[in-house]
Amino acid sequence: MPELLPRARASQESIFARMSRLAARYGAVNLGQGFPSDAPPAFLLEAARGAVGRLDQYAPPSGLPALRDAIGADLGVDGADVVVTSGATEALNVLALSLYGPREDGTGDEVLMLEPVFDVYVPQARLAGATPVTVALRLDPGPGGGWRLDLGALRGAVTPRTRALLLNTPHNPTGAVFTRAELEEVVALAREHDLWIVSDEVYDELYFGAPPVALRTLAPERTFTVGSAGKRLEATGWRVGWIACPPGSGGRLAGQIAGIRQQGSFCAPTPLQAAVAAALPVARAGGFYAGLRQEYAGRMALLAGGLEALGVAVYRPGGTYFLTAHLGAAAPDAGRLVESGGVAAIPLEAFAQAHAAPPGLVRLAFCKSRADIALALERLSAVLAAT
Ligand code: GLN
């Protein structure tokens, strides 16, 4: 039998899939993979029920026109500049394939990304033939501390081969929300070196302080925005995401991106696209996102306060539904924690690339039920008491 290619042999199970698998196997509370315990809103589910059995055939690869228009209206862009994808993961992969790749001299375009780095960014860049270059966020310890953008390091990492900046704000896994001033500096850097910006904004509606600034509003001419109906509407398994391209091409960029996108899953599921198209304006007008923020702020306070009462250092997020916490260097690693401690967490080392993460530093999801969060705290209390 022939061998798979080295890149296939080198591929690894996603840390999120792995921790969910282990959580199920050991009956652990799953604060690992970021998916909510709550059901999606009724207005979304009803719209889907009305679409299945009616809209069951292919949609255009660029997406159902009604959904492109609904996304455009929500983001303040033209629907002709929007491409619908099978989740944000595919959106990011399509952009990797469209924006950066191998160079004629045998090297790859360099793509700057922030570390801790969301798990798919590095492998997607490599599969596209590009070279990922990570720039570490600074972790200021102590009360009021947190994760900060290191603009000097970002500037220092640009080379003549740099082609794009790929960042997420709110940032997964740290929950950091970058300020307007920081993003203005990022934009200045991108303009100076004529770089694309890929802005992963799947948590754009999940913030606890100042709302995140959309990079496309600062640099429309070079920013591709990635978004996710799964994150917005609590239906991560639906796999409906999007790309908003820079405006002004009369839809040419979106058409070309859709040309790459059709080589993957061809189109996202048609009835689910129709349901999201109906739900986006309802969510916006009905205050759904504000309700979500309020609910998750409460659960974040429950988890963060509970951890702090156990003596754990917590870095409270400005956005996302994750927080990072330092369980202590003596705490069991994530493998032992899920197996014998009854709690699944994502170790920050899973997001490390060029800069080692301190042992005991974990990402915990609080998009889980209050009962699950309370149970996780009880179990963590027992685990930490034993260290
Ligand atoms: N975005 C989710 C997280 O960070 C997981 C994404 C996935 O598992 N594909 O947990």
Q: Which ligand 1 atom is at minimum distance from the Cα of 16? A: 8
Mean pLDDT across the chain: 97
Confidence (pLDDT) at 283: 98
- Tell me what pLDDT residue 343 has: 98
Least confident of 104-108, 178-182, 277-281: 104-108
Atom of ligand 1 nearest to the CA of 118: 4
**Residue with the nearest Cα to atom 2 of ligand 1?**
34
pLDDT of residue 186: 98
Residues 18-27: pLDDT tens digits?
Answer: 999 999 999 9
Q: Separation of 112 CA from ligand 1 center, angstroms?
A: 21
Which residues, listed in sequence order, are joined to residue 102 by a DSSP beta bridge? 108
CA of 338 to the centre of ligand 1 (A): 18
For the whole prediction, is pTM greater than 0.85? Answer: yes
Q: How confident is the model at residue 298 (pLDDT cuts 50, 70, 90)?
A: very high
Burial string for 268-291 (b: 16+ CB within 10 Å, else e) reads bbbbbbbbbbbbbeebeeeebbee
Pocket lining for ligand 1, CB < 6 angstroms: 14, 16, 33-34, 89, 172
- pLDDT tens digit sequence for 305-361: 999 999 999 999 999 999 999 999 889 999 999 999 999 999 999 999 999 998 999
127-157 pLDDT, tens digit each: 999 999 999 999 988 767 789 999 999 999 9
- pLDDT band with cut points at 50, 70 and 90 for residue 387: confident
By three-state DSSP, how is residue 385 classified?
helix
**pLDDT surpasses 80 at 266:** yes
Per-residue pLDDT band for 177 (boundaries 50, 70, 90) equals: very high
Residue of minimum CA distance from atom 8 in ligand 1: 16
Task: Please report, for residues 92, 130, 218, 233, the alpha-carbon distance to residue 320 in angstroms, rounded to integers and kept in the order given.
Answer: 18, 28, 21, 14
Distance between Cα 156 and ligand 1 center (Å):
30
Q: Which domains does the chain have, with CATH numbers?
A: 6-40+288-385 (3.90.1150.10), 42-285 (3.40.640.10)
Residue whose CA lies nearest to ligand 1 atom number 10: 34
According to the model, what pLDDT value does residue 284 have? 98
